[in-house]
Amino acid sequence: MPIARKAPRNVKEERKERASAWLAAFVIGLPALGLVAVIVALRGRS
């Protein structure tokens, strides 16, 4: 899959973009993971 977006001007920007992307994935993924764990626990108990 080719990278379509423009390359950042310097390494610091690249690192910042990557960090914010990781942060977004973490913020979205963690509650989703918790929700899945709760559902699995509830289904396993019933």
Q: Where are the domains of the chain?
A: 19-46
| 21 Rama class: left (phi>0) / alpha (psi -120 to 50) / beta | alpha
What's the whole-model pTM score?
A: 0.49
Tens of pLDDT, residues 1-46 = 566 666 657 888 888 888 899 999 999 999 999 999 999 999 998 7
- Residue found under tokens 């310097």: 10
| 10 Rama class: left (phi>0) / alpha (psi -120 to 50) / beta | beta
Long-range contacts of 27-34 (CB under 8 A, 24+ apart): none
